[in-house]
Amino acid sequence: MYDLIVIGAGPGGYEAAAHAGRMGKKVALIEKERLGGTCLHAGCIPAKTLLRSSRLFRECREAACYGVRLGSVEFDMPAVVERKNRVVGALAKGVEGLLKRAGVEVIPGSARLAARNAVEVGGERHEAANILIATGSRPAVPPISGIDTALDSNTVFALDRIPASVAIIGGGYIGLEFACFFHEIGSQVRVYEMLPQIASGCDGEISSRLLQILKRAGIEFHLGAKVESVPAADCVLNATGRAPVLESLGLEDAGVAVSRKGIRTSDTGKTNIPGVWACGDVTGRRMLAHAATREGIVAVNNMFGRRDRIRYAAVPSVIYTHPEVASVGRTEEELKAGAIEYSKSVVPMSVAGRFLVEHEGATGMVKVLAGAKYGEILGVHAIGDGASEFIVAAAAMIETEMCVEQASEIVFPHPTVSEALKEAIAGIGRR
Ligand code: NAI
């Protein structure tokens, strides 16, 4: 009998399993494919590794702007893919080591709930006081004619050549990151988005700025364009969202409540069935690796008597486009819709000397939204390279319910791009 069985070894499941293991609990982690999940094998890490190479390729072509003259520059796709595989391999070993050190038993196979405290894997029954479902998500397959011929965020990583033209269906996180990658390596890129804006859910001003920058760079956008049949291009990418992995888990027989988005959970990770918990993309709450990790740890803490909860308002998100977009908290649109009175400050990224030093000819901005009465920080939205590394400071402010007055006392290192955040906060204080 285990204290905990975790189903799925992505960043939600493996971190939760390791956390429980370190608490001294007897833990089993069941995985049918590879340790690390989508994030490590077909998501965050491989995508960012490819984007690192494409950025370097672009920067080499632009090196003369920095006074550096290079000869001809070549993008060697097989070598880029090889490096991506090495990075993924090294991190996969890291996950294996983490689980070993935490004393987690890894069971390969597909798990199915047999009862509220038991799962079946390959005909064997394993019992546990708690079961945490962390089976993640997979690319959604929309009703688009010919969609089976398109690549998705799993299969795109097998591409070993530079396509002449790429049509991307969906202008969300995946669509935009791959649009930047393919554009930088020399493909003609078209993005089709059914909504009137890209990166929906982002603060409107930031999303408009991103659109303007990417269009100016040469990416073609078709907004308000619901794709019904796969467009003609050398390569088509389906980036229309992700769907929770729910099948073959025996959820219906066990009576676990599921909505259209995924398994229903409370803010502590509980499902409607006592002893059965869920975290990450399978819940459809915030489809982000770091949200999955935090949800998993919150669930483990609560199942073993430590009260904990995730504050979704303080979960940051980053789009690794070039330039990056990083956000945390409420958008201006959300504040307006909720009739919440707020103050706003927007500064250009160039107020930070380091931004000018690092990014020749680039633009960007940081926007801070704070409560009108008490000055509590409600949202921070930034566009510009470097934003992904300082957004955690804003997340800490929101997590601790900090007001502008206290945030203004924080010393930001100079010269860093983060000083743009400091200036945006100061902008509210000066009102
Ligand atoms: P998404 O939900 O971000 O964007 C999908 C887009 O496709 C939406 O804007 C939608 O309006 C559009 N769309 C859907 N059907 C369409 C059609 N027939 N024609 C035209 N447009 C259509 O989903 P995405 O980009 O696939 O990403 C999936 C999940 O993975 C997201 O929830 C995201 O949070 C996560 N992710 C996070 C990343 C990060 O943190 N940097 C990177 C990649 C993915």
Per residue in 269-303, pLDDT (tens digit) is 999 999 999 999 999 999 999 999 999 999 999 99
Per residue in 37-96, pLDDT (tens digit) is 999 999 999 999 999 999 999 999 999 999 999 999 999 999 999 999 999 999 999 999
414 a catalytic residue = yes
**288 C-alpha vs ligand 1 centroid, how far in Å?**
12
**302 C-alpha vs ligand 1 centroid, how far in Å?**
31
| Side-chain-facing half-sphere of 179: CA atoms under 13 Å | 35
Structure confidence at residue 367 (pLDDT): 98
Per residue in 121-141, pLDDT (tens digit) is 999 999 999 999 999 999 999
Tokens of 373: 């009465």
- Where residue 430 falls among pLDDT bands split at 50, 70, 90? low
Structure confidence at residue 253 (pLDDT): 93
**Is 429's pLDDT higher than 80?**
no
Amino acid at 76: D
Q: Are 53 and 83 in contact (CB under 8 A)?
A: yes
**Is 115's pLDDT higher than 70?**
yes
In the chain, the percentage of residues whose pLDDT exceeds 70 is 99
- Where residue 385 falls among pLDDT bands split at 50, 70, 90? very high
- Around ligand 1, the residues with Cβ closer than 6 Å are 142, 144, 169-175, 177, 192-195, 200, 226-227, 239-242, 287-288, 317-320
Distances (CA, A) of 58 to 163, 175, 344: 17, 19, 35
Pocket test residue of 48, 52, 156, 173 for ligand 1, highest count of atoms within 8 A of CB: 173
Amino acid at 35: L
**33 C-alpha vs ligand 1 centroid, how far in Å?**
24
Distances (CA, A) of 380 to 7, 9, 133, 171, 243: 35, 32, 32, 22, 28
Per residue in 312-329, pLDDT (tens digit) is 999 999 999 999 999 999
Mean pLDDT of the residues in the chain: 97
Per residue in 141-171, pLDDT (tens digit) is 999 999 999 999 999 999 989 999 999 999 9
Structure confidence at residue 234 (pLDDT): 97
Domains delineated in the chain: 2-138+243-310 (3.50.50.60), 147-240 (3.50.50.60), 314-429 (3.30.390.30)
Per residue in 226-280, pLDDT (tens digit) is 999 999 999 999 999 999 999 999 999 999 999 999 999 999 999 999 999 999 9
